[in-house]
Chains A and B, each alone.
Chain A
Amino acid sequence: MDWNLLVTQLMNGLQLGLLLFLLASGLTLIFGIMDFINLSHGSFYMIGAYFCGTVVAKSGSFITGVIVGLIGVFAVGALVEWLIARKLYRKDHLDHVLVTFGLILIFDTLVHLLWGASGMAIPLPDVLNGQLSFAGLVLPTYRLLIIVAGLLVAAVLFILVTKTRLGMLVRAGASNRTMVEALGVNIDRLFLVVFALGAAMAGLAGMLIAPITEASIGMGNDIIIVAFVVVIVGGIGSVKGAFYAALIIGLIDTLSRSYLDQLLTLTMPDNYAETAAPALSAMLIYILMAAVLAFRPQGLFPIAGMK
């Protein structure tokens, strides 16, 4: 067994998991508190990458790009909540789907208008572009940074949700929205902040991945579905659930892509295994989701008191 490969794959899985967490934590809160389906959450992921890329190209500093990008996406998120989403919370889910699908079209086209159809590469500073050697293993610095940044955000978010007044309101809102309103909390402002923070986290995920994959139109539209799977598996409204589910799904998805064919060759002829493995690994996370729904529909880590 190639240990270097295994470690690399584990790191890739962890990295995917943390990016998924950044996307899914906002999504799960918006679901849990506002009962709002935001298909266009992936657009924030894309916008984050483009904002960051533009600033990096102008200023030459990756850190500046991330900071300005975060502020930008937060503002866009707040604007979308204030102008559009706010009017829809009390309408039915079909309306949510339609409007946010429309928003995807709008955002994709606006990006096309502003930045052109081809993708945008984001250069990394040399410090981050290298590799670290550790105990005979070679690890790319930037991937380590993504993992560290992801864990850091998760920790901050965890403290925010469990230790602060805002977090208390968020938790209360997720388990019983009507009660929070009845207690006289300014629910409009709470929704605005949650929505914009969720957008900023999705944007951060986009900024972190863009130096590897480059920013492109529609980049959020595929990963957002996996983020939905994370939300369901973790339990709607549960940040802790989103964290564990994101890591599980990130690891399953990455590891199955590289090891499933070897596993299958134990049970079937090589040529069948080679055809079946990619198809099966593509399905695996959805099978997991189906299993969760069949046996534990409230998700793996549901929040207490959720209706």
Chain B
Amino acid sequence: MFRLPANLSGRSYALLLAILALAPFILEWANQPFYLDLLSRALILGIAAISLNLILGFGGMISLGHAAYIGIGAYCVGIPSYYDYYSGWLHLALALSVSAIFALVTGAISLRTKGVYFIMITMAFSQMVFFTFLSMEEYGADDGLVIYSRSEFPEWLSMDSGVSLYYWVFAMLLLSLMFTHRLVHARFGRVIVGSRFNEQRMQALGFNTYRYRLTCYVISAMMCSVAGMLFGNFAGFISPDIMGWTRSGELIFMVIIGGVATFFGPLVGTIVFVLLEEFLSAITVYWHLIFGVMLVALVLFGKGGIHGWLSSWDRKDADYG
């Protein structure tokens, strides 16, 4: 039985957000600055996963090319910085507008198709972006591009230190969580979710589902480009590798382990993914094998991801599964 997630404030998730908000202090007290880096990366990918979940989970549009928007966002920091334009507002505005335009054009074509076609087309378009950046010698091609200095914002918004960047990421994460929540519960979201389950009926009700989907796709892409813009600042080095199609596959993986079409699922999935990656890769170079087996097992035997297990003892935020 399908119903919309009831509220944002499941007990376990309130606790999670509180921990994330205090993380820099906890980690400083524990003298573990490395983990702040790890957490920043996880939350940045979390924003990307949340944006993917908007189209994949709620909208039923399986995009296998979402990492392209991380790339676009990151290069919107990298390329202006290469020409000594460091204004953060400029970077942010570029990331949002370039991703919006690209999503509008490719989405308009992709969304004419369904199912298998949509998956392959989104993947092909992301490869197009990938190979375009790969061929641009001026911006480092496959050697990548070093970003020497972070985006410049007014003093109180500066992202120069590790902790201030973390709070930037955390704030953006909160924003995207709240935005997704509002959007899904608004009429817009009802149409999106509705046309996932029965598109014909939504059309019969008089909704132009194509336009709703396209709008949703563009919004999701713009959200993801913010993650890319943060990633460029965080990593200080970007290469086309960040948007290869296997990266998009990993994003789907994160959404799935967390739980599709839930608000916190993608975030939890991403944190688990990044932590697992970190610890497994420290144990063995063959950690991808464990990931692969997990993925296969998850689909063949699992249901509802981590969110499904969690909500079995936290009924307050029980979603559909």
Residues of A within 8 A of B (CB): 31, 35, 37, 39, 84, 87-88, 91, 93-95, 97-99, 101-106, 108-110, 112-113, 221-222, 225, 228-229, 231-232, 236, 275, 278-279, 281-283, 286-287, 289-290, 293-294, 297
Contacts and interface: CB of A to CB of B under 8 A. Distances in A.
B136 A98 contact: no
In the A-B complex, the 10 residue pairs with the smallest Cβ-Cβ separation, listed nearest first, are: A102-B295, A105-B292, A106-B292, A282-B131, A278-B135, A286-B128, A109-B289, A101-B249, A102-B292, A102-B296
B87 interface: no
Nearest to B118: A93
Contacts of A229: 120, 124
A98 B292 CA distance: 9
A106 B293 contact: yes
* Max count, chain B CB within 10 A of own CB: residue among A108, A112, A293: A293
Bin chain B's interface residue count.
Answer: 35 or more
30 contacts: A31-B116, A35-B116, A93-B116, A94-B252, A98-B252, A99-B299, A102-B292, A102-B293, A105-B289, A105-B292, A105-B295, A106-B288, A106-B289, A106-B293, A112-B286, A221-B245, A222-B127, A228-B120, A229-B120, A275-B138, A282-B128, A283-B131, A286-B124, A286-B125, A286-B127, A289-B121, A290-B106, A290-B109, A290-B121, A297-B113
Given A93-B62, A289-B121, A293-B113, A101 B289 contact: no
B288 A98 contact: no
A294 B109 contact: yes
Contacts of B123: 225, 228
Given A106-B292, A110-B289, 9 more contacts: A37-B119, A99-B295, A99-B299, A102-B292, A221-B246, A222-B127, A275-B137, A282-B135, A283-B131
Contacts of B300: 84, 87, 99
Interface in B153-189: none
A59 to B, nearest CB: 29
Contacts of A97: 62, 64, 119, 249, 252
B148 interface: no
Nearest to B131: A282
**Dominant secondary structure at the B interface:** helix
B69 interface: no
Interface in B267-295: 285-286, 288-289, 291-295
B206 interface: no
Contacts of A106: 288-289, 292-293, 296
A286 to B, nearest CB: 4
**Dominant secondary structure at the A interface:** helix
Given A93-B115, A104-B246, A286-B128, A279 B256 contact: no
Contacts of B295: 98-99, 101-102, 105
Contacts of B264: none
Contacts, number: 132
Nearest to B133: A279
A287 B127 CA distance: 12
Contacts of B117: 232, 236, 293, 297
B112 interface: yes
A60 to B, nearest CB: 31
Nearest to B289: A109
A41 to B, nearest CB: 12
B66 to A, nearest CB: 12
B134 interface: yes
A231 B119 CA distance: 13
A297 B120 CA distance: 13
A256 to B, nearest CB: 11
Given A97-B249, A283-B132, A105 B109 contact: no
Nearest to A291: B109
Interface in B48-92: 56, 62, 64
B234 interface: no
B36 interface: no
Contacts of A236: 116-117
Contacts of A287: 128
A289 B246 contact: no
Contacts of B298: 98
Contact of A225 (B132, B138, B245): B245
A232 B120 contact: yes
A94 B62 contact: yes
Contact of A109 (B121, B256, B286): B286
Contacts of A95: 299
B263 interface: no
B217 interface: no
Given A98-B256, A286-B128, A293-B112, A275 B136 contact: yes
